[in-house]
Amino acid sequence: MAENTRRDFIKTAAGTAALLAYPPASVLGASDRVRVGMIGVGARGQELLKQLLAVPNAQLVAIADIYSRRRDEAAEFAPGIHALDDHRRLLDMKDVDAVIVASPLHLHARHFLDVVAAGKDLYCEKTMTWSITEAEQCLRAAEKTDRVIQIGLQHESSGALADAKKWIKDGLLGKVTQVESWMSRNTPHGKGQWVRTVPSECTPQNVNWQAFLNGRPDRPFDANKFINWRLFWEFSGGNITENMVHQIAWITSALDLPLPSAAYMTGGVFSEKDGREVPDTIAVTLDFPNEVVVTWQSTFSNSRYGLGERLLGSDGTIEHVAGATDMVTGNSDEVTRYFPEKINRANGAPLVSETKDQNHMANWIDCVRSRKAPNAPVEIGYRSAVAAHMANLAYRRKERVTLQSAKTLAA
């Protein structure tokens, strides 16, 4: 988020927070409220904070961030919260029941495992982990605990997914052998996708650089890497872990796909020549053992077709599209539709998804209270993370990667 947008957002959100930070006693008794802490209160963390403050039976009690600016911003949102500089102090707090993790990707596994070990329920941003090895560790930890864990794959709570699953279960697609998916963006000339201005007070005095590195090779403070971590492999998986993961999770859930058997990925840094390592132009192919091939394409220098997924079956197609520019009206809509294949379903009628989305954050809080499984449990976090890391491994090694070889390479 650009700094001025972030400031405007904080101004509005601070007003909202003053009303919502502490729900009135009439909403729910103190013992029924879920007391929440958050680790990492940057751009996404502040969006999630706003979402959390709008859930009536949740109460934000503490945040932890290693950058003083983010602690100050969080305190503006929710006056009176504990703003800590070490996530371990937050996990020591007895009056924190559940924790949201919105730190950079390379820290997810550390924070995930620490939260679960502390006996707290967890909402962990996507991608669940930075590597396959870490995904295995988190899956194992989740299997050994009764904590409620939601992954920040919010499209798992979409009404369109619920409808797609029903249409598939009802046999409207027949045999699906291929899925095509894509995601595209653009920025003005000279401005790179994702690039954030480094604030002037982002200095070693205001940031715990060692905690950011979390065991990665030591080096002098690098403000650009701290703020723009998304551009570098050490901390990020690029657009594969930022965006493909959402769409692969959605496709995986709709078709109940297992882990891919193989991945291929090509592309490069073709449009964003700003020193980044992660590619801006991408073509991925994922093979699944149940005779399905999924492709995903992405560019950062053309946004006309927005994003979408098409599930191609012998008896019908499910198409979800969003953000494409209509050539006539110039508008863009999000819609999920079903089209019958007339040669196999002569009397089939087209359908449009109308089921409303669920609020992903509220679904987590509800599940923390009911102890039910949330909409994006660890299993989908795991499958989508492994698929994403297989693709990146194939790109970086310039070769086809099988599930077997990916697990060996990751070990």
Stretch (H or E) spanning 70: helix 68-77
Establish if 131 lies at the interface with ligand NAD (CB under 6 A): no
Q: How far is the CB of 331 from ligand NAD (least distance, A)?
A: 23
| Residues within window 64-93 making contact with ligand NAD, judged by CB under 6 A | 64-67, 70, 87
Task: Evaluate whether 330 touches 281 at the Cβ level (below 8 Å).
Answer: no
- Which residues make Cβ contacts (< 8 Å) with residue 330, sequence separation at least 6? none
Contact 265, 169 (CB under 8 A): no
By the 8 A CB rule, do 408 and 157 touch? no
Nearer Cβ to ligand NAD (72/341) = 72
Is residue 336 within the footprint of ligand NAD (CB under 6 A)?
no
CB closer to ligand NAD out of 214 and 295: 214
3-state secondary structure (DSSP) of residue 122: strand
Q: Which DSSP string do the residues of 148-165 spell out, in sequence order? A: -EEEE-GGGG-HHHHHHH
Per CB under 6 A, 44 contacts ligand NAD: yes
Residue nearest to ligand NAD (CB): 42
State in angstroms the smallest separation of the CB of 154 from ligand NAD.
6
User: What's the closest the beta carbon of residue 108 comes to ligand NAD, in angstroms?
Assistant: 6
Choice from 55, 60, 91, 105 touching ligand NAD (CB under 6 A):
105
Residue 197, Cβ density class (10 Å: 0-12 exposed, 13-18 middle, ≥19 buried): exposed
Minimum gap (Å) between residue 208 Cβ and ligand NAD: 7
One residue of 45, 238, 260, 340 binding ligand NAD per CB under 6 A: 45
The helix or strand, by DSSP H or E, that contains position 287, with its residue range, turns out to be: strand 281-288
- Give the C-alpha distances (Å, rounded to integers) separating 402 from 14, 288, 409: 48, 10, 10
Contact characters 285-324, ligand NAD, x per CB under 6 A: ----------------------------------------
Q: What share of the chain is helix, strand, coil (3-state, %, to 5)?
A: 40, 20, 40
DSSP state of 241: I
Any contact of residue 107 with ligand NAD (CB under 6 A)? yes
In the complex, minimum distance from the CB of residue 100 to ligand NAD, in angstroms, rounded to a whole number: 10
Q: What is the Cα 371 distance to its own chain's centre?
A: 23
Among 78, 84, 97, 103, binds ligand NAD (CB under 6 A): 103
Nearer to ligand NAD, 33 or 108 (CB): 108
- Using CB under 6 A as the binding rule, the residues of this chain from 180 to 239 that contact ligand NAD are 211-212, 214
| Number of other CB atoms surrounding residue 306 within 10 Å | 17
Judged by the rule CB under 6 A, the positions of this chain that interact with ligand NAD are 39-45, 64-67, 70, 87, 102-105, 107, 125-126, 152, 154, 211-212, 214, 242
